[in-house]
Amino acid sequence: MVKAIKIALMGILLALPVYAIDGTQLLQQIDRNLSPESFESYRKIINIEPDGRKKEFTYYTVKKGRDKIAGLFLAPASEKGRSTLRLGDNMWFYIPNVGKPVRITSLQSVVGGIFNNADILSLDYAVEYNVEKVEEKSAEYLLHLKAKTKTVAYDRLKMWVEKEKILPVKIECMTEAGMLIKTLYFKEVKDFGGGIVRPAVLETDSPLYKGYKSVMIFAKIKKRDFKDEVFTLTFMPKMELLR
């Protein structure tokens, strides 16, 4: 009897790794659920001040593969024609009046407000972060992520993920010392067609900007393939041709 119990316990212990959560695979799944690897989409970015005043931007985005993303401002008129490009850790900003792309850094913000360039030109999480730990709760996972390199805007992320849909519901962005920089809230899961079901609204607030809020609303997300040459400095003034 004792022998049988020992064998059963041994079997359970040996079987445990089979059920352990593979954090990296989970993160890759989250990335794919948020968007196809190559796609186009439209976003409205809204900065809201404590007294309710708002500033809105309309932004067209194209992405290819793991590390190529570009965007074009469509509105307001003061921003129209401005475009952004990210290739891995490299980021550029094109202003029609200036007439040439200039390098920007991930902590700057081309729209002001709480979203910085890393938020607007975000790559797949699995490209920039390693999963250090996964905590399993009743309805969600809590992922502890650590930036792969020093060039990533936030050193640590805590990501709450809804188990059923494998979609993030909240992300806390922190410095290396664990100081909270901002919190992202994923809201209003919507079917965009083509098998893309994801949150349509991304809200953020920050203890560094008390009372301020920034919101991203997603629309018309669809799979689309692009040539690599679309993601080059030469193409930045011509991005309107993609629409």
* Contact in structure between 30 and 146 (CB atoms under 8 Å): no
Convert residues 176-215 into a mask of x (bound to another protein by CB under 8 A) and - (unbound): ---------------------------------xx-x--x
Smallest gap from residue 83 Cβ to another protein (A): 14
Collapsed DSSP state (helix, strand, coil) of residue 128 = helix
Pairing of strands 129-136, 101-104: unpaired
| Binding segment (CB under 8 A) for another protein, from list 3-11, 78-86, 123-131, 185-193 | 78-86
Out of 1, 99, 177, 195, name the contact with another protein by CB under 8 A. 99
What is residue 229's DSSP assignment? G
* Minimum gap (Å) between residue 69 Cβ and another protein: 14
Residue 6 binds to another protein (criterion: CB under 8 A): no
Name the token pair of 18: 């089979």
Cβ 216 to another protein shortest distance, Å: 10
Specify the residue, 82 or 158, whose C-beta has the smaller distance to another protein. 82
- The runs of H, that is alpha helices, within the chain are 2-19, 23-34, 117-120, 125-128
CA–CA dist 171, 186 (Å, integer): 8
Q: How far is the CB of 167 from another protein (least distance, A)?
A: 20
The one among 4, 17, 19, 51 contacting another protein by CB under 8 A: 51
Identify which of residues 29 and 190 has a Cβ nearer to another protein in the complex: 190
| 42 lies in the site for another protein, by CB under 8 A | yes
Q: What is the largest CA-CA distance in the chain?
A: 83
Handedness of CA 35, 127, 203, 48 (dihedral sign): negative
Give the number of residues in contact with another protein, rule: CB under 8 A.
Answer: 67
Q: Find the binder of another protein among 3, 13, 17, 97 (CB under 8 A).
A: 97
| Pick 97 or 138: Cβ nearer another protein | 97
Radius of gyration in angstroms for the set of CA atoms belonging to the chain, rounded to a whole number: 20
What is the DSSP annotation of 156-186?
Answer: EEEEEEETTTTEEEEEEEE-TT--EEEEEEE
CA distance 26 to 22: 6
Interacting residues toward another protein by CB under 8 A: 42, 44, 46-47, 49, 51-56, 58, 60, 74-78, 80-81, 87-91, 95-100, 102-109, 112-113, 118, 150-153, 209-210, 212, 215, 217, 219-220, 226-235, 238, 240-241, 243
